[in-house]
Amino acid sequence: PSEREGFEVAWRETVEERALGFGDGPFTRSQMDTKFGRGKWRPLTRTAIPQPGRATPWRCIDNAKLNKGNAASHFVETICCEKADLPAATTQEFARILGPPSRQGWSMRGGCNDVKKAYRKIVNGHLQYMVVMLPGPSTGRCMYWIIWGWVLSFRHSHGKR
């Protein structure tokens, strides 16, 4: 796939995100300067990369390395993920305390929810850094979009230090 195709896919995905209420745009540079102040906002280049063999054949990428966003940001907090054996260990602990489930009449059920667009639902008070830029599909002119939630581009989004 060509770079142009990646930008076209990213444009369509961004339009879809706007329709879902996760962003606004497109805007011109002048409109962004009016909104945030000249030099007071920092766009991330957005494109899409192919993912052969996946249910979603393309994935948008927002480049926070290119605009120095990664170098200018740092961790304040992080998450700790549990291991896959947590449900078994939890059930074992319940059985130790309550007795075997078959004799005591209790059972355990579990599950996992994958929240669609989860990062887009994280409130962000720094929208001037949640701006993506894409070439317009008909003009090739650079246009800007404000993403309301968190863009998944900063290395900290992936737990990388």
Buried b (16+ CB within 10 A) or exposed e, 99-116: eeeeeeeeeeeeeeeeee
d(CA 44, CA 65): 9
pLDDT tens-digit series, residues 108-149: 777 767 677 777 777 778 889 889 999 998 899 999 999 987
Among the listed residues 43, 42, 41, 45, the one whose alpha carbon sits nearest the alpha carbon of residue 60: 45
pLDDT tens-digit series, residues 67-117: 777 777 766 766 777 788 888 888 889 889 988 877 778 887 777 676 777
DSSP strand pairing (43-50 vs 131-135) = parallel
Q: Are 141 and 135 in contact (CB under 8 A)?
A: yes
- Residue 42 clears pLDDT 80, i.e. is over it: yes
- 3-state DSSP assignment of residue 149: coil
Q: Is the pTM of this model over 0.75?
A: no
Instruction: Give 29's contacts (C-beta < 8 A, 6+ positions apart).
Output: 142, 144
d(CA 161, CA 157): 10
